[in-house]
Structure 1
Amino acid sequence: MTLAEASDGILAQRAADGDAAAFGVLVRRHGPFFVAFATRLTGSRADADDAVQEALITAWDKLDELADPDSVRAWMLRIVSRKATDRLRSRRPAADIEELELPTSVGGPESQTIAHSQMEALSAALGTLPDEVRTTWLLREVGGYSYDEIAEQTGVPAATVRGRLARARRALLELMEEWR
């Protein structure tokens, strides 16, 4: 079996033992998702790239602390999320969210145009949300984090997370009404 065919758990164990090639496979396998997630979270591809790079350095340094190698992707995503959140806290949000990439195999030109317009509208709507509300929504809806995980990540009580999610969903429903 080649490294590319190995499970995340095996790759994580090998990387924890110092196998840089195994870690490289993990990075190539999950890196694009991490960058997309961080881009949506920070609203900036440059900040996302920096956050992911910092997260990967941290992950490499702390791989020996990973309790469950099979959950390496979720563990690394939490690190990416923390680094992206740190970047948000250290700056004012960018005025615009970079255009999100769409898969090129989404039907014909008409459906691609509609999907592109929907993503632009969602990006614009997310850009109107306060940082903490947008971060909470992205962690839940894009990252799949639980309320408790979001609370731990953002340093607020779970009740605050619920309130922020409710505000985000209400605002996005209003702003995306024409797409329903």
Structure 2
Amino acid sequence: MGGFGTRHRQVADEALIRSLFEEHGRAMLAYATRLTGERATAEDVVQEALIRAWKHPDALVNGKGSVRGWLLTVVRNIITDNVRARNARPKEVAESPAAVPIERDHADKVVNSMVVLDALDQLPAVHRSVLVEIYVRGQSVNEAAETLGIPPGTVKSRSYYALRALRDMFSTRGAGMEGVA
């Protein structure tokens, strides 16, 4: 006997979904197509919305608002969820064997950093400390001033003169330091 009741419910559910699609399917599809810009994606969204309606038939008959309004809200929510899920994942990039890394030789970076550290060592301690706080530790002028216990204006002037001194050092050393300082 229980089988008849289950079968009756399945027929009723199918009839409900079929009538929902006949009455609201075109509006749902038009709305989803407008939001996604793709007919195939819109069809998938409408199908998902109808599945949700089938799983929650009480939401359709609870008297709060229109059935079409509920269905269109479900369509919008599905699309929003899909966009959020897509944005949460990193973009997939096709690997191409012909693509060569565009990074310069690692040795150049090592040599350049050694040259910069050597040049920093030649600066007076007051200038070096300001540059270390701002450029190495990434502090703002105000943060560096607080750390060093000096006014922000002093941090600015010391960094200006320190960078000028570094530029002079690099220009006297000659070429080969492109991209440094």
Question: TM-score scaled to structure 2, two decimals?
Answer: 0.37
Query: Who wins on radius of gyration, i.e. which is larger?
Result: 2
User: Which structure is richer in relative contact order (CA contacts within 8 A, separation 6 or more)?
Assistant: 1
Question: TM-score scaled to structure 1, two decimals?
Answer: 0.38
